[in-house]
Amino acid sequence: MTSKVFWGSPHQTQLDAKQTLPAKLDLILEKLELRQRVKGHRVAIKVHLGNDVGYSTVHPVLVRRVVEAVKEGEGKPFVTDLAHSEATAPMRGYTAETIGCPIYPSTGFDEKWFVTHPYKYRQMEEFQLGGAIEEATFLIDLSHVKGHPSCSYAGAIKNLALGCVTGETRSAMHDVCNYEPAFIKENCPDEKTRVAIRESCPYGGIVDDKEDPDGLHLHYINCNQCMICQDVAGSALVIDRESFMAFLKVNVIATKLVLDTFEPGNAVFINVANTLTPVCDCFGFTGLPVLPDAGVFGSNDIIAIEQATLDATDATSIMEKTFPAA
Amino acid sequence: MKVIQREGHPFQWIHGIYKDPYEQLAYGEKMDLGSRQHELIDVLPLEEPVLGVMPYIPAEPDA
């Protein structure tokens, strides 16, 4: 099956608003026939509203274009995100006045508004999905594309997977990397070696195990597989590919659970690939981008839009001069 | 932050080759979330650049 992905380039050849991203987003919404599909629907627009002083999330101008399109189609839109991002959203320019619709925390103000979905993956037994998602009948996954230390790339999948669940589920999802222990105590000859392994990581990715004074804990988020530790650790520390991929896979599982709450055809995906920072919007600040802007993408297929976005950003050159020092 | 290796997507260059977003999509495809095969459709193909006069932006909107 070949899915369509509509794309608006970040480039313009004339000094004309019609060639800029908001106008191209409008064209994408037309191609997706959004207005014709949302009549009478309670439409959840999932946007990461960021944290603290970050300003590289999807700009309110773009959010408003989507909200207006839903209203013109006689849908009932609301924007939703995690409670802590929703609570501080006005600091970053997101209010009902600026974007044109209410903003609700996806799992409630105190994370008590959720539905539990049993699903076994590694140590996880269930996923708690936000009530705002459960009660919506149409979904618009409006994502900012950026890098991410846990999964390298973050776009449409990550926006749903981590942004529509409770903190308890989010925490458990991050922990799936640690299902198999990275540190094999039996293979570590002595305390001196254990300390040397811990100190070998230049990125602070190996720390003492809080639950075992003779153990070590690997922070998968910090580990970029430079493998420096392997010269010291030998078989005492396992840097296993599948443990890293577990986080990316659990994101897919959570995304599927979210999408399964909607009737087929009642979800669209928009990726805004500008200000491509190396780390995610959860960090609460905006540094320099490390990849050039790649434009805006829209599709009815979440896998297709992610593939198209990856392909477009893969074809560009990384800007090493803009890397943060740490 | 620095480039660790130059394989895979550029974001993998800095975050690690074992964090593979392409494999994630293959997994998503297996879960019937969609298809990696796609047709990319440019909604406003670029024209040749036109040399023109910079548009006049009035200091007062109604002027």
- Give the tens place of pLDDT for each residue, A99-112: 999 999 999 999 99
pLDDT at A279: 93
- Give the tens place of pLDDT for each residue, B6-48: 999 999 999 999 999 999 999 999 999 999 999 999 999 987 7
- Average the pLDDT over A159-175 and give the result: 97
pLDDT at B51: 75
Q: Which residues of A touch B48 (CB under 8 A)?
A: 13
For A5-175+244-322, the fitting CATH number among 1.10.460.10, 3.40.800.20, 3.40.50.300, 3.40.50.11440 is 3.40.50.11440
Domain boundaries, chain A: 5-175+244-322, 181-239
Angle between helical axes of A156-163 and A241-259 (0-180°, round to 10): 80
Would the pLDDT of B1 be above 80? Answer: yes
- Average the pLDDT over A41-53 and give the result: 97
A315 band by pLDDT with thresholds 50, 70 and 90? confident
Measured CA to CA, the distance from residue A300 to residue A306 in angstroms comes to 11
- Average the pLDDT over A273-298 and give the result: 95
ipTM over 0.90: yes
Q: How far is CA A57 from CA A143, A252, A279, A315, B14, in A?
A: 8, 22, 12, 23, 21
Q: Measure CA B57 to chain center.
A: 31
The two tokens of residue A11 are 């480039």
What one-character-per-residue DSSP string does A246-259 give? Answer: HHHHHHHHHHHHHH
pTM of the model: 0.96
Q: Which residues of A touch B14 (CB under 8 A)?
A: 147, 152, 224, 278, 290, 318, 323
CB contact under 8 A, A308 and B12: no
**Residues 6 or more apart in contact with residue A151 via CB below 8 angstroms:** A158, A247, A248, A251, B15, B19, B21, B24
- Give the tens place of pLDDT for each residue, A72-90: 999 999 999 999 999 999 9
Q: What are phi and psi of A241, to 5 degrees?
A: -55, -45
Quick check: helix, strand or coil at residue A39?
A: coil
Q: Which residues of A touch B24 (CB under 8 A)?
A: 151, 157, 245, 248-249, 251-252
pLDDT at A15: 87
Would the pLDDT of A326 be above 80? Answer: no
Measured CA to CA, the distance from residue A29 to residue A270 in angstroms comes to 9
pLDDT at A95: 98
Would the pLDDT of B57 be above 90? Answer: no
What one-character-per-residue DSSP string does B25-43 give? Answer: HHHHHHTTS--S-EEEEES
Q: Which residues of A touch B34 (CB under 8 A)?
A: 3, 301-304
Extended beta strands in chain A, E state:
3-8, 42-46, 76-81, 103-105, 114-121, 124-130, 138-144, 146-148, 152-154, 206-209, 212-218, 267-273, 295-299
Q: Measure CA A128 to chain center.
A: 17
- Give the tens place of pLDDT for each residue, A177-224: 999 999 999 999 999 999 999 999 999 999 999 999 999 999 999 999
A15 shares contact with chain B (CB less than 8 Å): yes
pLDDT at B47: 78
pLDDT at B63: 58
Residue A245 one-letter amino acid: M
Would the pLDDT of A151 be above 90? Answer: yes
pLDDT at B49: 75
CB B23 within 8 A of CB A153: no
Q: Which of B49, B24, B40 is nearest to A16 (CA)?
A: B49
Residues in chain A, total: 326
Would the pLDDT of A260 be above 70? Answer: yes
Would the pLDDT of A264 be above 70? Answer: yes
**Residues 6 or more apart in contact with residue B61 via CB below 8 angstroms:** none
Residue A48: count of CB within 10 angstroms of its CB: 23
**Residues 6 or more apart in contact with residue A33 via CB below 8 angstroms:** none
> pLDDT exceeding 90 applies to what percent of chain A?
95
A248 shares contact with chain B (CB less than 8 Å): yes
CB A51 within 8 A of CB A85: yes
- Average the pLDDT over A104-127 and give the result: 97
Lowest model confidence (mean pLDDT) among A3-7, A23-27, A119-123, A276-280: A276-280
A316 band by pLDDT with thresholds 50, 70 and 90? confident
Measured CA to CA, the distance from residue B60 to residue A20 in angstroms comes to 24
Q: Measure CA A299 to chain center.
A: 17
- Average the pLDDT over A134-151 and give the result: 97
Q: Which fold has domain A181-239?
A: Alpha-Beta Plaits (3.30.70)
A324 band by pLDDT with thresholds 50, 70 and 90? confident
pLDDT at B62: 73
Query: Average per-residue pLDDT in chain A?
Result: 96
Nearest CB partner across the interface for B35, out of A2, A19, A151:
A2
| ∠ CA A152-A94-A111, rounded to 5° | 70
- Average the pLDDT over A149-173 and give the result: 97
- Give the tens place of pLDDT for each residue, A60-70: 999 999 999 99
